[in-house]
Homo-oligomer: A and B are copies of this chain.
Amino acid sequence: MASTTKRAVTIIDVAKAAGVSVSTVSRVLNNKDDVSETTFQHVRDIIDELGYSSSLAAKGMRSRSTNVVGLIVPDVSDPFANKVMKGVNQAIVEHNYDLLIYTNGNILDDISAAREQQYVSLLNNGLTDGVITVTPSIGSFSSVGPVVAIDPHIHHPEAPAVISTNFKGAVAATRHLIDLGHRRIGFIRGRADLQSAIRRQQGYESALEKAGIPLDPSLVVDGDFTRESGVPAARQLFSLDPRPTAIFAANDETAFGVIDVCDALGIRVPEELSLVGFDNIAEAAYCDLTTVDQFMDRMGYIGTKMLFDLIDGKPLIECIYKIETNLIIRGTCGSIS
């Protein structure tokens, strides 16, 4: 029997085959305890025999609980989303839930707020018991089920969210460079519409100020969190005279773009340029990139835990959970004598 396109087996088919009513089958399906052992076993056998499996669609429409959590990501191949998925995955395994990931796959076409809201409703409208959104642009959703945001673009004080201490992390990264003796430190921005990107820039500026280093606007250039955007940004910084001796990129991807330019221009890292990234994505370890770990997998894990509490009706201790970042010193930074 190859991939046959036949009519689906319904609960009615099972009921008929078992010689019982539909409601009895439904009881068996949901492990209700008011069914005789004999009937229960009999129905179970028929179910297996027919290869029946209840339709999530119909089920979710009728009952309020599905035992699956939803996850909305802009793009499954995005490294950030990817690590978050990992953490979510771990949490759902522990809670014996299933996971439904929804994506329109296009991180580029700016998902509108309306569209985000639509996805949330889509899932929480019967399919899932709650949903997690990754880097949503809106801070709060209207939904029948609970919603937890991971690294939302803007913070809404009452909307459950998990964020990392971007400011602190950026301060740590910048100070590390300063401690190494650097004074001309370039900064490549992240996407201007993201809260996290803004906080990182603020951290950079704050650390400079604390160290008494005047802020040079020409050292701060645009980027958008992509590797591609790191290339022109780096070229722009390298065209400066004197050249910055260090660069702090708003995220690892951008830092890789900087490395691409260094390779092309023959600039040695860390001898001629010190470089720090942000995120600690998997590739960072392989490239020996000094960066700030923001434990994205942990964000996904914690977020899912929060969601479970919400689903269970437990009150949240903290509506907004902050995860401490951690500077990871690897090989892309050198000291200036």
Given the complex, which residues of B lie within 8 Å of A4, measured CB to CB?
A: 141-143
Alpha-carbon gap, A289 to B112, bound state (A)? 42
Is A321 among interface residues, defined by CB-CB distance under 8 A?
no
Count of chain A residues with Cβ under 8 Å from any Cβ of B? Answer: 62
If A77-B89, A105-B99, A126-B58 touch, whether A144 touches B53 (CB-CB below 8 Å) is no
Alpha-carbon gap, A92 to B106, bound state (A)? 9
Report the nearest B residue to A283, measured CB to CB.
Answer: B286
Given the complex, which residues of B lie within 8 Å of A77, measured CB to CB?
A: 82, 85-86, 89
B144 x A5 contact (CB < 8 A)? yes
Is A41 among interface residues, defined by CB-CB distance under 8 A?
no
Report the nearest B residue to A2, measured CB to CB.
Answer: B158
Given the complex, which residues of B lie within 8 Å of A56, measured CB to CB?
A: 57, 122-123, 125-127
A90 x B105 contact (CB < 8 A)? yes
Is A118 among interface residues, defined by CB-CB distance under 8 A?
yes
Given the complex, which residues of B lie within 8 Å of A124, measured CB to CB?
A: 8
Is A117 among interface residues, defined by CB-CB distance under 8 A?
yes
Given the complex, which residues of B lie within 8 Å of A158, measured CB to CB?
A: 2-3
Alpha-carbon gap, A36 to B123, bound state (A)? 31
Is A21 among interface residues, defined by CB-CB distance under 8 A?
no
Is A140 among interface residues, defined by CB-CB distance under 8 A?
yes
B61 x A55 contact (CB < 8 A)? yes
Report the nearest B residue to A68, measured CB to CB.
Answer: B102
Q: Digit string of A7-18 for contact with B (CB within 8 Å is 1, else 0)?
A: 110000000000
Report the nearest B residue to A139, measured CB to CB.
Answer: B2
Q: How far is the CB of A125 from chain B (nearest CB, A)?
A: 4
Q: Digit string of A77-116 for contact with B (CB within 8 Å is 1, else 0)?
A: 1000010011001101100001111111110000000100
Alpha-carbon gap, A210 to B47, bound state (A)? 52
Alpha-carbon gap, A93 to B146, bound state (A)? 28
Is A159 among interface residues, defined by CB-CB distance under 8 A?
yes
What are 27 contact pairs spanning A and B, CB under 8 A? Answer: A1-B142, A3-B142, A3-B147, A3-B159, A5-B143, A5-B145, A5-B146, A6-B142, A8-B121, A8-B124, A48-B114, A51-B114, A53-B118, A56-B123, A56-B126, A56-B127, A57-B60, A57-B126, A75-B89, A76-B76, A76-B89, A76-B99, A76-B101, A77-B85, A77-B89, A93-B104, A99-B103
7 smallest CB-CB distances across A and B, nearest first, come from A286-B286, A57-B126, A2-B158, A101-B101, A55-B125, A53-B121, A53-B118
Beyond the given pairs A76-B76, A76-B99, 6 more chain A to chain B contacts, judged by CB atoms under 8 angstroms and listed by A's residue number, are A2-B158, A2-B159, A8-B143, A57-B57, A282-B283, A286-B286
